[in-house]
Structure 1
Amino acid sequence: MIDFMDNVQNAFYETSHWNLDNSYGALNATARALLDFQTPKGLRLQISSLAAPNFATSYTIGSVGVVDGSVSYLYSSLPVQRELRSANLALRHVIRGYRHLQELRRPDEKWWWELWHDGVRIDNRDTLLYGRIFLPQSTLEALYLRRLSPTRQLKITAVSDSNLNNGGTILALLQTDVGKYSTEYMYSTDSALLGVRGLYNFGYDPRVAPTSTPTAEDVVEPVHGRFSAGAELYYGLLNKSGGISTGLRFTTLPNHTGFPYTMTLTLNPLMGNLSSTYAVKAGKNLALCSRFDFNFYSYESELQLGCELWRRRSNTEVEWAVKKLRPEWKRPIASPDDDVSGILKARVDQDWRIGVLWEGRIKELLFTLGASVDLRKREQIFRAVGIELQYSS
């Protein structure tokens, strides 16, 4: 489950009209959500608060052998416009599941962001600042995010830890997204790493506005899917090593009348790794996913299968129908998933390593209960068992 601060950051992206899915790094986001979920270890409790529309705090304490925790603060120049109280927030915002990609959005015009007063521009670029310290390790991590223009943003992350080389590392990303394509330029102080990656979407270009009076030749069949291709290249100046990867993705769009599905194929030619995924939303409450990895040099392969099942309250529609008959009844504002009582995730690989996760809400608490099982190790089948609780106000 996404923690409180990540939810605030996603709200910042949404309010500032930044598409997280339109990047090469998010090419396999659906498969990772269904197969690479983390199972909790021990007991962990997080208490968070949006003290003001621009300021948030979060405190975490856990027990895995020793007591540890973290304290984090976040400031956003852009007021958060999302319900974040754990009792009322939409579960789809905090649970990673099958991702329905939307139609590409036309970028904002630059002049939309301008604010003038007495002939002088007084507008500022939206900025997000985030910091967290882990105790008792005294590890510090920070994030600086600044929207430079409607199509560009700068993201700088830093980690300070005595166990790392030079006591820490800094990663800078300059990201550009015009809808039709996106690019990212990267620099990391770790090995003086330089990188670039990009994603191109075939077909519809959101920057091209349709004509007001289309002719018969302009009318075309609506597109029900999107084909995307991308690549990544990076090189470390200090260790004189680099890497390259490329990938393809096809996904259905909201106007697709059948089952939504997503297919991806990624290749790392230097390492010889080939990975293919297929995810399908088989029903309103069920999603299935598979991933097959193969290495051309060692001929080793790996297969993973996963599923996601949303459990809904069966009596919701009955209660709503009864209440609707009352003249004095007024329907309250509710989130789209008010009838969701929990989400079950499960995965298994060819070595019979199983991961199970149950996520949901009990009154004003969000919970994540999970376990990792290795059926080949009969003397210690359970590798990890834990529960995480979140409360936010």
Structure 2
Amino acid sequence: MLGYMDYVQTSFYLATKWDEDNSYANLNATARALLDFQTPKGLKMNISSLSSPNFATSYTMASLGVVDGSVSYLYSSKALDNVLNSGAVELKEAVSGYRDLKEILKPDDPRDWEIWKGGTRVDRRDTLLYGRMYLPASTLEALYLRRMAPTRQLKIAAVSNSRLPNGGTILALLQQNNGKWCTEYLYSTDVALIGMRGLYNFGFDPRKALPGTTHFDPRKIAGRFSAGMEVYYGIVNKSGGVSTGFRYSTLPSNMGSPLTMTLTVNPLMGHFEATYAVKAGKNSVFCSRYDFNIYSYESALVLGCELWRRKQTVAPGAAELEAVTGETRQPGALSTEVEKDEDVTGVFKARITQNFNIGLLWEGRYKQLLFSLGY
């Protein structure tokens, strides 16, 4: 289950038209969501609220042998009218699972962001501030997120803890997303790490479309092929690394089964990872991941699935027919032909490794309460 602040941050991205999936860091996001889910340990309770469209709070208490918790606050200069409470939010939006890629859209014109009043420019860039204090460990984490332009975003994350080297670490990330491609430049105070990564989408470039046109038939574009690369170097320890990755994913216009395939390679470490995820039906997703190292010949295989439970609705007219004629409904009279995302009432996840390590998770909703149960 997504944490409340993670859900609010995702809502900020949607409100400011930022595509999270168009990033090399999220190339394997689908496989991670389906196979690397965390199962609850002990009892954990979270109470959160959006007291205003710009301010959110969250309080967490957990019992894992000892009682601990956290206090979180979030501020957004952009009114987040798309944030819903636990009783109204679609379960699909609150659960991390298969990610459907969206069509690449043409970025806004920078002039569309300008607001003038009396000959003076008064517009401000949307900003998100987030802070969380863990108790009783007194660990503090913070996030600063600023939309600098329609295609540019600055993200600064920090963690303060006396147990960490130098008492904490700061990560700065500058992202440039033009739809067709995305580049990111990062710096971390941990070992003075500097890096760059990018993702390029083959095919149609929405920036070249004339106003009011698309120059392509979306029904003919069933999927998108993307390629990316990452390079980083630690100045303190004088070591670096490089990786490259590829992804093919179907788009909403695809008439067949939605699927996502990825391949990532780290040539210096001799490691590659291949993943495959497919929606086998309206209510089921299956995923596999295979890792292999050409130097040590070590390998790992993980299989997983995600099953959705939906509401059963009575076929139109069936109830009225029974009331008038007195005839009993036949098996199959319950219809789910008109199935929507808000019909999802529960999600079951399972994974198994080659060593027969099993993980099980059930996420659902009871009235206004969202819950997760797992083993």
The TM-score with structure 2 as length reference comes to 0.92
Residue 94 of structure 1: how far off its partner (Å): 1.1
1:118 match: 118
Deviation string 1:15-70 (CA, Å, 9 cap, x unpaired) is 00000000001100111111010111000000001000000000000000100000
1:311 match: 309
Correspondence 1:6-17 to 2 at 5 A: 6-17=6-17
Contact 2:11–2:83 at 8 Å: present in 1 too? no
Contact 1:90–1:336 at 8 Å: present in 2 too? no
1:129 match: 129
1:86 match: 86
Amino acid at match of 1:241: S
1:166 match: 166
Name the Cα RMSD after superposition. 2.0
How has the CA–CA distance of structure 1 residues 41 and 164 changed in structure 2, closer, same or farther, with 3 Å as cutoff? same
Q: Does 1:342 align with 2:340?
A: no
Residue 143 of structure 1: how far off its partner (Å): 0.2
Contact 2:90–2:344 at 8 Å: present in 1 too? no
Amino acid at match of 2:253: N
Deviation string 1:78-121 (CA, Å, 9 cap, x unpaired) is 00122421111111111011111111011010011000000000
2:54 match: 54
Contact 1:230–1:247 at 8 Å: present in 2 too? yes
Match for residue 280 of structure 1 among 278, 281, 284: 278
Residue 321 of structure 1: how far off its partner (Å): 7.7
**Aligned mates of 1:270, 1:151 — CA distance in 2:** 32
Contact 1:316–1:339 at 8 Å: present in 2 too? no
Correspondence 1:16-35 to 2 at 5 A: 16-35=16-35
**Aligned mates of 1:144, 1:321 — CA distance in 2:** 54
Question: For structure 1, which segment, 77-86 or 180-189, has the greater mean C-alpha deviation from structure 2 after superposition?
Answer: 77-86
Q: Does 1:236 align with 2:240?
A: no
Amino acid at match of 1:177: N
Residue 213 of structure 1: how far off its partner (Å): 8.9
Correspondence 1:255-266 to 2 at 5 A: 255-266=253-264
SS at match of 2:206: coil
**Aligned mates of 1:210, 1:119 — CA distance in 2:** 30
Q: Does 1:270 align with 2:274?
A: no
Contact 1:265–1:277 at 8 Å: present in 2 too? yes
Match for residue 352 of structure 1 among 353, 356, 374: 356
**Aligned mates of 2:317, 2:62 — CA distance in 1:** 39
SS at match of 1:60: strand
Length, aligned pairs only: 358
The answer for unaligned runs of 5 or more in structure 1 is 326-334, 372-393
2:373 match: 369
SS at match of 1:203: coil
Q: Relative contact order, CA 8 A, sep 6+: which one is greater?
A: 1
The answer for unaligned runs of 5 or more in structure 2 is 324-338
**Aligned mates of 2:211, 2:126 — CA distance in 1:** 33
SS at match of 2:224: strand
How has the CA–CA distance of structure 1 residues 79 and 336 changed in structure 2, closer, same or farther, with 3 Å as cutoff? farther
Amino acid at match of 2:355: D
**Aligned mates of 2:205, 2:343 — CA distance in 1:** 37
Residue 200 of structure 1: how far off its partner (Å): 0.2
**Aligned mates of 1:63, 1:158 — CA distance in 2:** 26
**Aligned mates of 2:159, 2:244 — CA distance in 1:** 28
Residue 336 of structure 1: how far off its partner (Å): 4.3
How has the CA–CA distance of structure 1 residues 119 and 259 changed in structure 2, closer, same or farther, with 3 Å as cutoff? same
**Aligned mates of 1:165, 1:9 — CA distance in 2:** 28
Amino acid at match of 2:30: T
Deviation string 1:219-277 (CA, Å, 9 cap, x unpaired) is 79821110000000000000101111000001111111110111100000111111000
Deviating 4+ runs (over 4 angstroms)? 210-215, 218-221, 316-322
**Aligned mates of 1:220, 1:12 — CA distance in 2:** 27
Contact 2:273–2:291 at 8 Å: present in 1 too? yes
1:375 match: none
2:74 match: 74
**Aligned mates of 2:97, 2:45 — CA distance in 1:** 22
Deviation string 1:164-208 (CA, Å, 9 cap, x unpaired) is 000000000000000000000000000000000000000010111
Amino acid at match of 2:308: W
2:224 match: 226
The TM-score with structure 1 as length reference comes to 0.88
SS at match of 1:9: helix
